Amino acid sequence: MKIVIDTDPGIDDAMAIFYAHAAPDIELLGLSTVFGNVYVEQATRNALYLVDMLGEDIPVAHGCDRPMDDRPFKSSVHVHGIEGFGDFTDIPERSTTLKESGPEFLVRMAREHKGELVICAIAPLTNIARAIQLDADFSKNVAKIVIMGGAVDCPGNVSDFAEANIFHDPRAAQIVLAAEGNIVLVGLDVTLKTLCQAADFDRMEREAPVTGGFLKRIGEFYLNFYRDVAGKEGCGLHDSTALIACTHPHLFSKEAIAVEVVSLGHEAGNTNRSTKSDSRQITVCLDVDAQQVNRMFLDQICSNR
């Protein structure tokens, strides 16, 4: 499957990018970066660092740096660390980015691989919304857009209502969810059921010393956040779960739902089931074979020696 990942690395983004590289059924065609877990300059630097660690010539396009409505934005330092990789802060500059912007790159790739390309969006949806504005056929050119975002039938993680990726740019989210084409939402309804435990990171380090060792190092910060703040023994396998939903949709229970995004007020970022008769339906993942998803993730990461 040809995939471009729209990303804001981010500890769980690093896990997903390493998974995509290792998975035999994924052809990773590129990364587009956006603000979210970190500021976009950090996201681009981090993406280039991960690509360099993999030893691959994977193109990276520098994307949007703020929400579409210019609302204030702060990076998730308490979740991902000051530079995005936990306590690992000495991140060198590597390689160079493409000259075209993130949205421009997405539009070009969708045209070049019309009907084949899957966009896996694991960050705020600003780049995707801008791509839709650049090319009215964008969402129809791609095979599907799979989004890690939202909390349809469960509480949010940045408020009682909102999941972080949707919360950071609800206007962009509404544009994307209303777009034509095949839109799949993989939100907290499933990604908080796929937890990665401390023992899993130990196995990654043991069996894949370079990439797995790096994930073990940065994952300790992530595990501590989930333990101390969320009260969970294990971190959400958010972004990797969305990638697995791209290639293995049969592992998920899904429903066609019209989803409306709240843009303002204390419920900003809420992804509600819409009661409007003319609302467009998308595919929403509501349950998951968590054991199988975790097994697939670990097996592929540990194969990346």
| Contact predicate 191/228, CB 8 Å | no
pLDDT score at 145:
98
pLDDT score at 304:
77
Q: Give the count of beta carbons closer than 10 Å to the beta carbon of residue 253.
A: 13
User: What are the chain's domains?
Assistant: 2-303 (3.90.245.10)
pLDDT score at 305:
66
* Separation between Cα atoms, residue 304 and residue 23, nearest integer Å: 9
pLDDT at 47 over 90: yes
238 belongs to the catalytic site = yes
Marked catalytic residue, from 8, 135, 200, 289: 8
250 belongs to the catalytic site = no
| Nearest of 115, 158, 161, 168 to residue 6 by alpha carbon | 168
Marked catalytic residue, from 62, 113, 168, 238: 238
pLDDT at 243 over 70: yes
Look at the pTM and tell me if it is higher than 0.75. yes
pLDDT digits (tens, 9 = 90+) for 86-117: 999 999 887 778 999 999 999 999 999 999 99
pLDDT at 232 over 90: no
pLDDT digits (tens, 9 = 90+) for 272-300: 999 887 788 999 999 999 999 999 999 99
Tell me the Cα Rg of the chain.
17
Q: Of 130-134, 215-219, 229-233, 294-298, where does mean pLDDT reach its minimum?
A: 229-233
Average pLDDT over the chain, rounded to whole? 95
Residue 98 tokens read as: 């493409």
